[in-house]
C-alpha cells in the first residue's frame, strides 16, 4: 500500500527527538549568576576562561611518580594569563593524594591570588573508570559494557567512575564517547558502545545519569562531556582523524541520535570531532556546532575543542591560512573553550581578534557564560577543593565487585561446539598466545598512561587470564607457552610440544594496548603469527578454545573452524582476567551479546541494519557473527510472540510480548532484543532496526513474559527531506527467530 508521509508530530529517542530545551537549560541553570559575574570580568579575564592548558605545562613527574608542580609557571598561567581550565595527567596516573595536592594548589592560586577568584575547572579522561587515578576501578571499556546489555550496571559504573574522579578533586570527565563502531578498522572502536544508535543512546544516557546524578556540586558527581561530536567514528580510510563522507540523512539516522539522547540526559559539555565531515572540519562549522547542536538539539552547555584542533585548522585541515584565521573560525563556529593545549597562543590571538572587532563581544559573552555556568553547576565557586575524606573511596572492594560483575556480563560466547566449555576441573590446560599473561591487553588505551601499554604500571595483584585460570584449575594443571607476540613468532613449536600434555588449549589472541591514532591498522585480519599459532596447534588434535582480547573485531575466518569454542572478551578491564576464567570454568554463565557485526572478511563492512539489496540478487549478508549474537551455557527458547493489536495509530502504544524460557539446568541471563522492520518506505528501509532490549535472569525451567511497548515514534526514520517521518503501512516486530506484523494507520485523515 502506498504510504502517505506524515510529519512526525511527537519525538523519539532515535534521532528524531527535539530536545526539551527548557529542561536542558533548567538542568544547567545559573544563568543569573553567570550574567552577574560576566558583567564584572575584563576582556583578558573572559578570554582566559576560554582556554585550557595541559598539566605537562605546569610541572613534571618526580622520581617517585608524583607530579611536581612548577608553582611559578602555574601562577603565571592562572594569575598573569587568567587561565580558566587545565587538563590531563602529565603523562601517567597519579595517586589520589597527589591529585588532591595538585588541585588544591591550583584552586588556592585561582581563588586567592586573582582579582575575582574564579576557580579552575579541571578536565580529565575518565574513559573506563578514573583511569588516571592510581588504584581506581578500571572497568571494561564501553564496547564491552555495551555487550552486557545491562543499563543499570552501566549507570552504576558511571557512578563509581564519577566518585573516584571527584575524589581526586577533578570535576569534569571527557566522556562518554558516543561515536558508533561502523568502521571496524577505526582504532577507537573499543571506546564506543558499538554500531547501533539506540544501544549507544541508552548506554550513554545511563552513564551520564550515573556520572552527573541530580546535583553536579555533589562530591561524588562530575560533569560529563559527550564526544566526539559528531561523525568522527566513520573515517572512510579507517585511519583515525581522516575524512568522513556522511550524507546528511545518514548523519541524522545514525550519528546524531546518541548526542540527542545525551542532551536529553542533561550532559553539560560537548567535545568537538577532531576531524571533518564532507570537507568541513567540525571545529570550523557553525552548522554543526551552533545550528544543529544548540539550535536543533537544544544543547546549552560548554563546547570544548579536542586536542590542538583549532591549531589543526591551519596545520592539518588547511581551511585556515594561519592561527588568527583558525581561532576566528572556531570561536565563531561555536567553540567555547580551546584545548590549546600547550601554550597561550589562543589567548593572545583571540584577544587581538576581539580588539580588532573580528570576533564580537556577544560571542565571547556566550562562550564565557557557558564556561561559568558549568563551574557554578559544579559548585566550584562554593568549594573548589578536593575533599580529603573522599580519598578512601578510590578502589573500594565494593567497586571491585561491580567491576568484576561488569566484566563477567560482558563476556560473549560466540561458539561452543561439543560443550567443550565450560572446562571441567582437573583437566590439563595449555594457555598460549600474546594476551594470556598481560594486564595491558585487558585494559588497553586510557589506562594509567594514554596508550595503556606500560605493563609495569598495572597493579600486580590483579590476575591476568593465565593467573586466573591457574587459580581456578591449579598451577599443576595449567601450562603456559606464549609462543608468539602480536607481530612475531617466538616459539610455536614449543607450544605444539606442550599441547601433547594438555587436554585442551586456551589460545588468548587479539590486540596489544593502543589509543587513538597510534592504534591505526591497515588490515583488519588478525595478525599472521597469531593465526599460524592456532593453525599449528590445531594440528595436535587437541580441542582449542579461542579467547579474543581486542578493541575491535579482527578477522579470524581462517581459524574459526579450528576452534571448538570462541569467547569474545573485548577489552574487559582490570577484572577481565578473572572474568574470562570464571566463564571458561563455568563459574559464570556468559550472557554478553555482540554490540557490533563481527566481520568475516577484511574487505567488506556489513552492519546488522543493512539493506535488503545486500542480501538479494546474488548478494549475501555473510558476517562471521551477527550483531546481538551471544551464546549461553543454558538454552533459552522464545515462544508466543504477540502484538496486542494488528494496527496502531499516532496516539497508541502497541504492547509486544514474548515468552522466554530457560530450558536448561542452570540459571542464566538473556538480553531480549526487539527489532522493527518497516516493510516498504520512501527511503530504502533497513532489514531491521533495534528498538528495545531488556536483560532478564531466569532460573532453570523458569519462563518469563517480556513486554515492550512500541510507540508511534518508534516507527520513525529520517526521510528524504532529512526530517523524521512515520509512513503508515506494514511493519514487522521481530524477537529471536519470530516476527509479528502490524499496520500503522494515520487516523487523522
Ligand atoms: C584526545 C582525544 C579526546 C580526549 C582529549 C583529551 O586527543 O581525542 O578523546 O578527551 O584528547 O585527552
Which residues does residue 281 pair with via DSSP β-bridges, in sequence order? 276
Q: Which residues contact 635 (CB under 8 A, 6 or more apart)?
A: 662, 663, 664
| Pair (92, 143) in one structural domain | yes
pLDDT(11) > 60: no
How many Å apart are CA 354 and CA 362, to the nearest integer? 10
State whether residue 152 is helix, strand or coil. helix
Q: How far is the CA of 177 from the centre of ligand 1 (A)?
A: 10
What value does the mean pLDDT take over residues 359-386? 98
What value does the mean pLDDT take over residues 222-231? 98
How many Å apart are CA 135 and CA 94, to the nearest integer? 9
Question: Mind listing the pLDDT tens digit for each residue in 304-347?
Answer: 999 999 999 999 999 999 999 999 999 999 999 999 999 999 99
State whether residue 162 is helix, strand or coil. helix
State whether the Cα torsion 120-344-354-87 is positive or negative: negative
Confidence (pLDDT) at 583 = 98
User: Would you say 484 and 414 are in contact if contact means Cβ atoms under 8 Å apart?
Assistant: no
How many Å apart are CA 12 and CA 712, to the nearest integer? 9
| Pair (380, 417) in one structural domain | no
Question: Mind listing the pLDDT tens digit for each residue in 488-522?
Answer: 999 999 999 999 999 999 999 999 999 999 999 99
Neighbours of 491 (CB within 10 A): 13
Question: Mind listing the pLDDT tens digit for each residue in 420-442?
Answer: 999 998 999 999 999 999 999 99
Question: Mind listing the pLDDT tens digit for each residue in 104-118?
Answer: 999 999 999 999 999
| Pair (341, 193) in one structural domain | yes
Residue 629 resides in a domain: no
Confidence (pLDDT) at 23 = 44
What value does the mean pLDDT take over residues 544-568? 98
What are the cell numbers at 258? Answer: 546518541
How many Å apart are CA 338 and CA 318, to the nearest integer? 18
pLDDT(210) > 70: yes
Residue 394 resides in a domain: no
How many Å apart are CA 628 and CA 233, to the nearest integer? 21
Ligand 1 pocket test, pick from 176, 306, 520 with the greatest ligand atom count within 8 Å of Cβ, gives 306
- The phi, psi pair for 325, rounded to 5°, reads -70, -35
How many Å apart are CA 668 and CA 696, to the nearest integer? 8
Residue 65 resides in a domain: yes
State whether residue 79 is helix, strand or coil. helix
What value does the mean pLDDT take over residues 547-556? 98
Question: Mind listing the pLDDT tens digit for each residue in 453-462?
Answer: 999 999 999 9
Ligand 1 pocket test, pick from 125, 283, 338 with the greatest ligand atom count within 8 Å of Cβ, gives 125
| Pair (210, 336) in one structural domain | yes
| Pair (302, 407) in one structural domain | no
What are the cell numbers at 660? Answer: 522466554
Q: Residue 727's domain is classified under what CATH number?
A: 2.60.40.10
Q: Residue 93's domain is classified under what CATH number?
A: 3.20.20.300
Question: Mind listing the pLDDT tens digit for each residue in 615-651?
Answer: 999 999 999 999 999 999 999 999 999 999 999 999 9
| Pair (152, 216) in one structural domain | yes
Q: Assign 746 a pLDDT band (cuts: 50, 70, 90).
A: confident
Confidence (pLDDT) at 2 = 40
Residue 612 resides in a domain: no
User: Would you say 410 and 403 are in contact if contact means Cβ atoms under 8 Å apart?
Assistant: no
Question: Mind listing the pLDDT tens digit for each residue in 588-602?
Answer: 999 999 999 999 999
Q: Residue 528's domain is classified under what CATH number?
A: 3.40.50.1700
Residue carrying the nine cell digits 559504573: 157
| Pair (488, 558) in one structural domain | yes
| Domain hosting residue 405, numbered range | 401-603
How many Å apart are CA 17 and CA 298, to the nearest integer? 10
Residue that finishes a domain, picked among 384, 410, 433: 384
| Pair (126, 77) in one structural domain | yes
Measured CA to CA in angstroms, residue 682 lies from 250, 607, 726, 737 at distances of: 15, 21, 10, 27
Nearest-CA residue for ligand 1 atom 11 is 307
Nearest-CA residue for ligand 1 atom 8 is 306
Confidence (pLDDT) at 248 = 98
**HSE of 346, CA atoms in CB hemisphere, 13 A:** 33
Question: Mind listing the pLDDT tens digit for each residue in 703-724?
Answer: 999 999 999 999 999 999 999 9
Q: How far is the CA of 307 from the centre of ligand 1 (A)?
A: 6
Residue 43 resides in a domain: yes
Task: Report the residue count for the chain.
Answer: 749
Confidence (pLDDT) at 3 = 46
**542: nearest Cα among 559, 558, 526, 564:** 564
Give one DSSP letter per residue of 596-619, joined into a string: S-B-SSSS----TT-BGGGGSTT-
Q: Which atom of ligand 1 is nearest to the CA of 227?
A: 9
Nearest-CA residue for ligand 1 atom 3 is 306
What value does the mean pLDDT take over residues 163-180? 98
Q: Which atom of ligand 1 is nearest to the CA of 225?
A: 10
Residue 49 resides in a domain: yes
What is the Rg, in whole angstroms, of the alpha carbon atoms belonging to the chain? 26
Active site residue 306: yes
- Mean pLDDT (the chain, rounded): 95
Indicate the number of domains in the chain.
3
Q: How far is the CA of 124 from the centre of ligand 1 (A)?
A: 9
pLDDT(17) > 70: no
How many Å apart are CA 514 and CA 512, to the nearest integer? 6
What are the cell numbers at 436? Answer: 594470556
Nearest-CA residue for ligand 1 atom 10 is 174
State whether the Cα torsion 586-590-596-597 is positive or negative: positive
User: Would you say 164 and 391 are in contact if contact means Cβ atoms under 8 Å apart?
Assistant: no
| Pair (668, 573) in one structural domain | no
Q: How far is the CA of 184 from the centre of ligand 1 (A)?
A: 20
Q: How far is the CA of 230 from the centre of ligand 1 (A)?
A: 14
Confidence (pLDDT) at 749 = 64
Q: How far is the CA of 134 from the centre of ligand 1 (A)?
A: 20
pLDDT(550) > 70: yes
Residue carrying the nine cell digits 558516543: 178
**DSSP class of residue 288?**
I
How many Å apart are CA 72 and CA 109, to the nearest integer? 11
**259: nearest Cα among 279, 273, 247:** 273
| Pair (364, 478) in one structural domain | no
Nearest-CA residue for ligand 1 atom 1 is 307
Containing H/E element for 505?
strand 504-510
Catalytic residue among 125, 306, 678, 713: 306
| Pair (410, 525) in one structural domain | yes
Neighbours of 7 (CB within 10 A): 10
**Ligand 1 pocket, residues with Cβ under 6 angstroms:** 88, 125, 174, 227, 274, 306-307, 516
Containing H/E element for 25?
helix 21-28
Q: Which atom of ligand 1 is nearest to the CA of 271?
A: 10
Q: How far is the CA of 306 from the centre of ligand 1 (A)?
A: 6
Please name the residue ranges forming H helices in 345-425. Answer: 345-355, 361-377, 397-410
Confidence (pLDDT) at 6 = 44
Q: How far is the CA of 745 from the centre of ligand 1 (A)?
A: 47
How many Å apart are CA 740 and CA 737, to the nearest integer? 11
Question: Mind listing the pLDDT tens digit for each residue in 115-141?
Answer: 999 999 999 999 999 999 999 999 999
| Pair (597, 676) in one structural domain | no
Confidence (pLDDT) at 27 = 64
What value does the mean pLDDT take over residues 62-91? 97
- The phi, psi pair for 375, rounded to 5°, reads -65, -40
Confidence (pLDDT) at 747 = 82
Nearest-CA residue for ligand 1 atom 6 is 307
23-27, 287-291, 580-584: which range is least confident on average?
A: 23-27
User: Would you say 441 and 570 are in contact if contact means Cβ atoms under 8 Å apart?
Assistant: no
Q: Assign 558 a pLDDT band (cuts: 50, 70, 90).
A: very high
Residue that finishes a domain, picked among 339, 358, 384: 384
Residue 170 resides in a domain: yes
Residue 630 resides in a domain: no
Whether residue 615 is preceded by a cis peptide bond, meaning omega within 30 degrees of 0, is no
Q: Which atom of ligand 1 is nearest to the CA of 191?
A: 9
Amino acid at each position: 500500500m502506498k504510504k502517505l508521509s506524515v510529519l512526525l508530530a511527537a519525538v523519539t529517542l532515535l534521532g528524531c527527538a527535539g530536545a526539551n530545551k527548557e529542561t536542558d537549560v533548567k538542568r544547567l541553570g545559573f544563568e543569573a549568576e553567570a550574567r552577574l559575574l560576566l558583567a564584572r570580568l575584563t576582556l583578558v579575564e573572559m578570554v582566559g576562561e576560554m582556554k585550557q592548558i595541559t598539566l605537562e605545562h605546569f610541572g613534571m613527574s618526580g622520581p617517585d611518580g608524583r607530579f611536581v608542580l612548577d608553582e611559578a609557571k602555574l601562577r603565571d598561567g592562572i594569575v598573569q594569563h587568567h587561565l580558566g581550565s587545565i587538563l590531563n595527567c602529565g603523562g601517567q596516573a597519579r595517586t589520589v593524594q597527589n591529585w588532591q595536592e595538585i588541585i588544591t594548589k591550583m584552586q588556592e592560586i585561582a581563588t586567592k591570588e586573582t582579582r575575582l577568584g574564579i576557580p579552575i575547572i579541571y578536565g580529565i579522561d575518565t574513559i573506563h573508570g578514573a583511569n588516571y587515578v592510581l588504584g581506581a576501578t578500571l572497568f571494561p571499556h564501553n564496547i564491552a559494557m555495551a555487550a552486557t546489555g545491562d543499563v543499570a550496571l552501566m549507570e552504576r559504573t558511571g557512578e563509581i567512575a564519577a566518585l573516584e574522579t571527584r575524589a581526586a578533586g577533578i570535576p569534569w570527565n571527557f566522556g562518554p564517547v558516543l561515536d558508533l563502531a561502523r568502521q571496524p578498522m577505526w582504532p577507537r572502536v573499543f571506546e564506543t558502545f558499538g554500531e547501533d544508535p539506540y544501544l549507544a543512546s541508552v548506554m550513554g544516557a545511563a552513564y551520564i545519569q550515573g556520572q552527573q546524578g541530580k546535583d553536579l556540586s555533589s562530591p561524588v558527581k562530575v560533569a560529563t562531556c559527550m564526544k566526539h561530536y559528531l561523525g568522527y567514528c566513520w573515517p572512510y580510510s579507517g585511519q583515525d582523524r581522516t575524512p568522513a563522507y556522511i550524507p546528511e540523512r545518514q548523519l541524522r539516522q545514525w550519528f546524531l541520535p546518541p548526542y540527542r539522547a545525551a542532551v536529553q540526559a542533561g550532559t553539560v559539555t560537548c567535545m568537538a570531532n577532531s576531524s571533518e565531515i564532507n570537507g568541513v572540519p567540525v571545529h570550523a562549522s557553525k552548522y554543526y556546532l551552533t545550528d544543529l547542536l544548540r539550535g536543533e538539539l537544544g544543547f546549552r552547555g560548554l563546547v570544548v575543542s579536542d586536542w590542538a584542533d583549532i591549531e589543526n585548522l591551519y596545520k592539518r585541515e588547511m581551511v585556515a591560512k594561519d592561527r588568527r584565521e583558525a581561532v576566528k573560525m572556531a570561536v565563531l563556529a561555536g567553540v567555547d573553550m580551546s584545548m590549546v593545549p600547550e601554550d597561550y597562543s589562543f589567548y593572545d590571538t583571540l584577544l587581538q581578534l576581539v580588539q580588532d572587532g573580528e570576533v564580537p563581544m556577544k560571542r565571547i559573552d556566550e562562550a564565557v557564560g557557558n564556561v561559568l555556568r558549568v563551574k557554578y553547576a559544579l559548585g566550584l565557586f562554593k568549594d573548589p577543593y578536593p575533599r580529603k575524606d573522599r580519598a578512601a573511596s578510590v578502589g573500594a572492594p565494593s567497586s571491585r565487585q561491580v567491576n568484576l560483575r561488569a566484566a563477567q556480563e560482558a563476556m560473549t560466547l560466540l561458539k561452543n561446539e561439543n560443550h567443550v566449555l565450560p572446562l571441567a576441573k582437573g583437566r590439563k590446560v595449555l594457555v598460549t598466545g600474546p594476551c594470556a599473561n598481560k594486564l595491558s591487553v585487558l585494559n588497553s588505551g586510557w589506562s594509567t598512561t594514554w596508550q595503556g601499554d606500560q605493563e609495569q604500571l598495572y597493579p600486580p595483584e590483579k590476575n591476568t587470564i593465565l593467573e586466573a585460570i591457574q587459580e581456578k584449575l591449579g598451577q599443576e594443571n595449567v601450562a603456559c607457552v606464549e609462543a608468539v607476540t602480536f607481530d612475531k613468532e617466538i616459539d610455536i613449536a614449543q607450544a605444539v610440544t606442550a599441547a601433547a600434555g594438555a587436554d585442551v588449549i586456551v589460545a588468548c589472541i587479539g590486540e596489544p594496548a593502543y589509543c587513538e591514532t597510534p592504534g591505526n591498522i591497515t588490515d583488519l585480519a588478525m595478525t599472521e603469527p597469531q593465526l599460524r599459532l592456532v593453525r599449528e596447534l590445531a594440528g595436535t588434535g587437541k580441542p582449542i578454545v579461542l579467547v579474543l582480547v581486542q578493541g575491535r573485531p579482527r578477522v579470524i575466518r581462517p581459524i574459526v573452524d579450528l576452534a571448538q569454542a570462541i569467547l569474545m572478551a573485548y577489552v574487559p578491564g582490570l577484572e577481565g582476567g578473572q572474568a574470562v576464567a570464571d566463564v571458561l570454568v563455568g563459574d559464570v554463565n556468559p550472557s554478553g551479546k555482540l554490540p557490533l557485526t563481527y566481520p568475516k572478511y577484511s574487505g567488506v563492512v556489513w552492519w546488522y541494519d543493512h539493506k535488503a539489496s545486500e542480501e538479494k540478487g546474488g548478494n549475501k549478508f555473510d558476517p562471521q557473527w551477527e550483531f546481538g549474537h551471544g551464546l549461553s551455557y543454558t538454552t533459552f527458547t522464545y515462544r508466543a510472540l504477540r502484538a496486542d493489536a494488528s494496527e496502531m495509530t499516532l496516539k497508541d502504544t502497541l504492547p509486544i510480548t514474548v515468552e522466554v524460557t530457560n530450558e536448561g539446568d542452570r540459571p542464566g541471563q538473556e538480553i531480549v532484543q526487539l527489532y522493527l522492520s518497516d516493510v516498504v518506505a520512501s527511503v530504502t528501509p533497513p532489514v531491521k532496526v533495534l528498538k528495545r532490549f531488556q536483560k532478564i535472569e531466569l532460573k532453570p525451567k523458569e519462563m518469563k513474559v517480556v513486554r515492550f511497548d512500541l510507540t508511534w515514534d518508534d516507527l520513525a526514520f529520517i526521510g528524504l527531506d532529512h526530517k523524521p517521518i512515520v509512513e503508515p503501512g506494514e511493519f514487522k516486530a521481530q524477537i529471536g527467530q519470530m516476527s509479528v506484523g502490524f499496520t500503522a494507520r494515520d487516523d487523522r485523515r
